Structure 1
Amino acid sequence: MFFNLSRGSGVLLLVIMAAIAGFLAYRSALALGKNEGNFLTTFEWTPDAAKPVFGVAVLTFGTLVSALIAMLIAVPVAVGIALFISHYAPRRIAQPFAYLVDLLAAVPSIVYGLWGVLFLVPHMDGLTSWMDQYLGWTYVFDQSSTGVAPRNLFTVGILLAIMVLPIITAVTREVFRQVPRMHEEAALALGATRWEMIRTAVLPFGRPGIISASMLGLGRALGETIAVATVLSTNSELTLHLLDPGGGTFAENIALKFNEAQPLGRDALMASGLVLFVITLLVNGAARMIIARRKEYSGAAA
């Protein structure tokens, strides 16, 4: 009975995923047949106009860039916090610290969004000015719009990094705790320092777990709506100046425009949701391939 229930649950999950994909594909086909522009390369989003023109170029760029910034900031910090809790901090400090990290994961998105617009955005002026002064030569961090509140993709990336940090930290911490004690003691017995023990025994064992935790965080970063909509100043312009206002993400665009959209506009939003669905599947598939190539670390005792 347990085997049949487990197998049925797995089949049900596949059916649900197929149903979601089929529904999005059907609604997308209705919209794409009436689109006067190229769906993948058009910047404009006016599906309810007399001449419907809409595309996901700006949304794709904004979603991927903000998620990339978030992961570049969050993953190293999360791994460091997890190592501190599991291998450095005394127990009387590690337990309250771990509880605090788990508590941050339960904070609603709207709270992060309000904190971002009321505190983070006003305090980003100094950082963006410094980056413009010393890193402006990279073009990416060149701030061409001065005197404007930094409601841009870079600020969104920092906010998303704070949001996904507890998730990555919590999973990574539990993975590090599963490292066989014998491996750690063997490394220390051979004369390794604590950092050398972590580098040779803990990190190799926990690498698949770190990747899995990062993919969980990336999934939230890709699909975040309210916090991004609260902080980001959206427009239909695609700019590589990450410190300038503008851009947008799939989830934020759907959340802001769904209620006011006409039938064709809602179908267009479904089409953008299908693109986000495909991106998420590709990211998770890539993560599974990476983990599968490193199965030698999954047992670590061999």
Structure 2
Amino acid sequence: MQQTITADASAIPAGGVRRRTGSFGDKLFEGLCRGAGVLVLLTLGGIILTLLIGGLPAFTHYGLAFLTSDAWNPVEDHREEYGALVSIFGTVVSAVLAIIFAVPVAFGISFFLTELAPEWLRRPVGTAIELLAAVPSIIYGMWGLFVVVPFVQIYIQLALGDYLTSIPLIGFIFESRSFAGTSLFTAALVLAIMILPFIAATMRDVFLQVPPVYKESAYGLGATRWEVVKGVVLPYTRISVVGGIMLGLGRALGETMAVTFVIGNANRMPQSIFDPSTTIASVIAMEFPESLSGSMKQSALFALGFLLFVISFLVLAASRWLLRSRLKA
């Protein structure tokens, strides 16, 4: 053994540093990875800069009134009045409602697939959930227009409208004079179905990553399945679960075609969740092709796109802050 060590030591150059094999490949790989990261930052910066420059005339002309005005009159009285309040409100409310609808269902699906479903059923149901993510958004929009809109109109607004409006304190949010079926509620329902596979798949995958010994220990102490999920699985996976929810929220905030089909595209402030409204993405999709290059209308649409980016960034920043505060606690 001593001779072997001596022989190996003699192979080291006199300078005391062994020549690194494959140094060119390592540097090339490091450069490619560094370039990929820089490319992402440059792309993101280019998008932000394009939206900001395009929307700067609208921000300069209207000032803070652009954020607080609900006007959208491109030709009325030969005046151009544009405001972002209605579309911002519709974007945020529809996305939040979609999360409220989707998260409990996604958790139920994940709980069923990881704790309750037999082995022969887990794969087909899991595959079916993942296939929902592959459906194009325009298909969701067409399906929502011909199926979800009549369902909401007949079985919710007409059948339950009087009961919902009579609920104390919150009944006013269900009181609507429009019974067309296209509304904030319908858009949120379609969005919830669209983001459901993203949240459910993420929850299922992270639930399966919990070490079995943790759950078996809890079962050994007499815990029920719900107590195991509540006390072991959710605390262990809370960061990934929140990440999946934020992924779904980001998809809901930026969805365009499906929302355009079912929200009603009315540029007025809704009085209830059953009133038609609009979102930033649907306004841009509907009116950008008709806007003239360099016009104030086009600048207002660029400004709306910039505001959508800001909203998405604030949501992501808030989620990061919540996660860090929970980790420190």
Alignment of 1:1-302 (within 5 A): 1=27, 2-35=29-62, 38-47=65-74, 50-124=78-152, 125-137=154-166, 138-145=171-178, 148-244=179-275, 246-263=276-293, 264=295, 265-295=297-327
Change (3 A) 1:295 1:10: farther
Equivalent residue, structure 1, for 2:19 = none
Ranges in structure 2 where 5+ consecutive residues have no aligned partner: 1-26
Shift of 1:182: 1.4
State the one-letter code of the partner of 1:46.
N
Q: Deviations over 1:249-290 (max 9, x none)?
A: 000000011111122222210100000000000001111122
Change (3 A) 1:262 1:46: farther
Would you say the 8 A contact 1:208–1:294 is kept in 2? no
Would you say the 8 A contact 1:135–1:141 is kept in 2? yes
Shift of 1:129: 2.6
Change (3 A) 1:187 1:116: same
What TM-score results when the alignment is normalised by the length of structure 2?
A: 0.85
Would you say the 8 A contact 1:102–1:170 is kept in 2? yes
| Counterpart Cα distance in 1 of 2:31 and 2:322 | 30
| Counterpart Cα distance in 2 of 1:34 and 1:186 | 65
| Counterpart Cα distance in 2 of 1:3 and 1:130 | 63
State the one-letter code of the partner of 1:134.
Y
| Counterpart Cα distance in 2 of 1:270 and 1:47 | 15
What TM-score results when the alignment is normalised by the length of structure 1?
A: 0.92
| Counterpart Cα distance in 2 of 1:104 and 1:242 | 26
Size of the aligned set, in residue pairs, is: 294
Shift of 1:35: 4.1
| Counterpart Cα distance in 2 of 1:123 and 1:38 | 38
Larger Rg: 2
State the one-letter code of the partner of 1:292.
R
Q: Deviations over 1:23-44 (max 9, x none)?
A: 1111111233344992011112
The sequence identity of aligned pairs, in percent, is 40
Equivalent residue, structure 1, for 2:17 = none
